[in-house]
């Protein structure tokens, strides 16, 4: 039987995630697999702000091209790296079980918490979303831009004299580094990125393989991802926009979707919340609430700033 070729980024985290999906395919679908690591534009442009060079799509462009060209049969992505629109001819066919969606504080002084960091502490993050919310919570902090994979960012904690870095809990857990987390930051304090902690399996649209891979989906993960991505699409979010959303199941078969959009300095944050049974409609409703409360003006200003 021919092995299914799985396209993935080549970072340690991406490979760990792809291997996890590959193991499920081999066990549950009785299909052999092989990984096809691909160095994306985003990986090659280390040290440059994603907002300056094209955004999150740089982490998926070459991977999607490999699937479309037939060099790979499917791809595994960190869903938070996916732009609002994926390549024509492809579909997101499975959403495996979600890992912890929260952000993690990793401190140089073990046991530190966000609220106990010293005044003026240097806090590293590569995310405009995290930076905006952290500045709103602790205006005294020096938020330091940070790029690189998880290991590189942890090394910079010491090498660049940072007091702490903020990463995704999910990535640390998947790399076996959960014990390095000093605080799993409550979503009431810092709202996570759209689909953070979720993996997305992508294949050619309307393919038999895509329908087969749908068996890997977790119903709760899929529902939350659809709601959060509907929120993203409605606000036309990209990496220039400090935007966050989290969908959670609540009693009665409903979803609660909380979202926000912020100015980059964190001084203006517009929040929205919606509850409903339909994932996409609920995500869109949370986004619409934000637009109605002034989020449209925040977004317009952010886009003017991005064009300068």
Quickly list DSSP for 108-156. Answer: SSTT--GGGSPTT-EEEES-HHHHHHHHHH-TTSEEEE--S-HHHHHHH
Q: Has 81 been annotated as catalytic?
A: yes
In this structure, are 9 and 73 located in the same domain? Answer: yes
Q: Residue 245 phi/psi, 5° resolution?
A: -160, 150
Which of the residues 43, 73, 81, 179 is marked catalytic?
Answer: 81
In this structure, are 91 and 108 located in the same domain? Answer: no
What is the dihedral angle through the alpha carbons of 229, 231, 236, 237, rounded to the nearest 10 degrees? -70
pTM, full prediction:
0.92
83 domain-assigned: yes
Strand 90-94 versus strand 199-204 pairing type: antiparallel
| Per-residue pLDDT at 238 | 76
In this structure, are 68 and 127 located in the same domain? Answer: no
Count of domains forming the chain: 3
User: CATH code at 51?
Assistant: 3.40.190.10
In this structure, are 86 and 10 located in the same domain? Answer: yes
Domain range enclosing 47: 4-96+199-217
Strand 103-107 versus strand 164-168 pairing type: antiparallel
| Per-residue pLDDT at 42 | 65
222 domain-assigned: no
In this structure, are 22 and 48 located in the same domain? Answer: yes
| Per-residue pLDDT at 271 | 98
| Per-residue pLDDT at 43 | 63
In this structure, are 179 and 262 located in the same domain? Answer: no
Q: Tens-digit pLDDT profile for the chain (308 aa)?
A: 799 999 999 999 999 999 999 999 999 999 999 999 998 766 655 554 444 544 556 779 999 999 999 999 999 999 999 998 899 999 999 999 999 999 999 999 999 999 999 999 999 999 999 999 999 999 999 999 998 899 999 999 989 999 999 999 999 999 999 999 999 999 999 999 999 999 999 999 989 999 999 999 999 999 999 999 999 999 988 777 899 999 999 999 999 999 999 999 999 999 999 999 999 999 999 999 999 999 999 999 998 888 87
| Per-residue pLDDT at 39 | 83
In this structure, are 164 and 277 located in the same domain? Answer: no
27 domain-assigned: yes
| Per-residue pLDDT at 53 | 47
Please list, residue by residue across 281-294, b when 16 or more beta carbons sit within 10 angstroms of its beta carbon and e when fewer do.
ebbbbbbbbbbeee
């Amino acid at each position: 039987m021919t092995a299914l070729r799985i396209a993935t980024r080549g970072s340690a985290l991406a490979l760990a995630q792809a291997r996890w999906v590959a193991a499920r395919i081999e066990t549950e679908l009785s299909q052999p697999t092989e990984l096809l690591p691909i160095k994306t534009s985003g990986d090659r442009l280390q040290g440059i702000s994603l907002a300056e060079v094209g955004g999150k799509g740089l982490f998926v462009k070459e991977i999607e091209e490999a699937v479309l060209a037939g060099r790979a049969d499917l791809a595994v992505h960190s869903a938070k790296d996916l732009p609002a629109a994926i390549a024509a001819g492809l579909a997101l066919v499975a959403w495996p079980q979600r890992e912890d969606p929260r952000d993690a504080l990793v401190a140089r002084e073990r046991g530190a918490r966000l609220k106990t960091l010293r005044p003026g502490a240097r806090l590293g993050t590569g995310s405009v979303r995290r930076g905006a919310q952290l500045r709103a919570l602790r205006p005294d902090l020096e938020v330091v831009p940070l790029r690189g994979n998880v290991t590189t960012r942890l090394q910079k904690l010491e090498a660049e004299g940072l007091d702490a870095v903020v990463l995704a809990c999910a990535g640390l857990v998947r790399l076996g580094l959960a014990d390095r987390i000093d605080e799993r930051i409550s979503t009431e304090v810092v709202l996570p990125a759209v689909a953070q902690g979720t993996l997305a399996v992508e294949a050619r649209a309307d393919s038999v393989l895509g329908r087969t891979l749908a068996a890997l989906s977790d119903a709760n993960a899929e529902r939350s991802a659809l709601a959060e991505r509907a929120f993203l699409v409605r606000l036309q979010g990209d990496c220039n926009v400090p935007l966050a959303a989290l969908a959670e199941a609540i009693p009665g078969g409903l979803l609660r979707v909380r979202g926000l959009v912020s100015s980059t300095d964190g001084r203006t944050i517009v929040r929205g919340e919606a509850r409903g049974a339909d994932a996409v409609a609920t995500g869109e409703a949370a986004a619409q609430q934000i637009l109605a409360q002034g989020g449209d003006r925040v977004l317009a200003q952010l886009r003017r700033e991005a064009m300068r």
